[in-house]
Amino acid sequence: MKTLLISGLMFFASFTSMSQTLEKMQWFNEPGCWKIEGNSLMMRVTPQTDYWRISHYGFTVDDAPFLYALQGGEFEVKVKISGDYKTRFDQAGLMLRIDHENYIKAGIEFVDGKYNLSTVVTHHTSDWSIIPLDNAVPFVWIKAIRKLDAVEIFYSFDDRKYIMMRNAWLQDNHPVKVGMMGASPDGDGFKAQFEGFSIKHLPDSRRTQWLMNNAANNE
């Protein structure tokens, strides 16, 4: 009985810890309607909002909702994303952001009635790459791995097999705001859900290499 009680308390503590992870995160452009349940975030994406700088369109916008934590060093982040996409450019995904001129966002984007795996990389000006999907998908996992000055971005439909969709530069040795974003630049907003958000610290690559070299020199 005591073992069951202790196990139950440990489970409850871990569940509480997971929910507090999201609750301790901060909003940039907080939406009017959102809710956290356990380790899931549901939000109504604010209408007429986006992240984009200059390229092709000639304008800059930086006003979409973004729930983030500040993370240093190297790390892996992933989340399961689903949304009730309706209008051209409706999107939901992960974002890694240093400031208004340097960020990466990756996820699902709805364009011309089709689902696309989308990545926008911004360093003063934005670029945009997509992988069109043949069919609508109920959800997708997006994972990003930050190592030194590179961010590798992957997608998965089952949280087991991950396929790389982009490798992008991002300044290393600089804190990053990392979290979940949604945007609806042409629409009236939509419901987006993010599940299982997690950040895992990775050992610093340069220090790991230094330790290996140092150990070899001492032999």
Report CA torsion sign: 30, 86, 39, 200. Answer: negative
Distance CA 36, CA 44 (A): 12
What pLDDT, on the 0 to 100 scale, is given for residue 6? Answer: 38
Dihedral sign from CA coordinates of 14, 20, 146, 174: negative
d(CA 170, CA 122) in angstroms, rounded, equals: 9
Would you state the structure tokens that stand for residue 120, as one six-digit string? Answer: 């926008």
Domain carrying residue 190: 36-203
Which SS3 state, helix, strand or coil, does residue 84 take?
A: coil
**pLDDT computed for residue 205 by the predictor:** 87
Q: What's CA 133's distance to the chain center, in Å?
A: 20
Residue 214 maps to a domain: no
Q: Is the residue at 115 inside a domain? A: yes
pLDDT (0 to 100) of residue 216: 66
pLDDT of residue 11: 39
Cβ pair 34, 41 in contact under 8 A: yes
CA 44 to CA 130: how far, in whole Å? 24
pLDDT tens-place string over residues 144-202: 999 999 999 999 999 999 999 999 999 999 999 999 999 999 999 999 999 999 999 99
Q: Which of 68, 47, 22 is nearest to 191 (CA)?
A: 47
Percent of the chain having pLDDT more than 70? 89
CA 207 to CA 210: how far, in whole Å? 5
Q: Which whole number is the average pLDDT over 50-71?
A: 97
Query: Which range (46-50, 135-139, 213-217) has the least confidence?
Result: 213-217
How many domains are contained in the chain?
Answer: 1
21-48 residue pLDDT tens: 899 999 999 999 999 998 999 999 999 9
| Ordered DSSP codes for 133-165 | -SS--S-EEEEEEEETTEEEEEEESSSSS-EEE
The answer to the question of residue 45 being in a domain is: yes
Residue 28 lies in a domain: no
Residue 11 lies in a domain: no
The candidate with the shortest Cα–Cα distance to 179, out of 161, 167, 192, 163, is 192
Q: What is the mean pLDDT of residues 83-109?
A: 98
Any domain includes 14: no
CATH classification at residue 69:
2.60.120.200
- Count of beta carbons in the 10 Å neighbourhood of residue 72: 12
Domain contains 8: no
pTM of the model: 0.87
pLDDT at 109: 98
Q: What is the pLDDT of residue 21?
A: 83
Q: Which residues contact 160 (CB under 8 A, 6 or more apart)?
A: none
* 189 vs 205, residue with greater confidence: 189
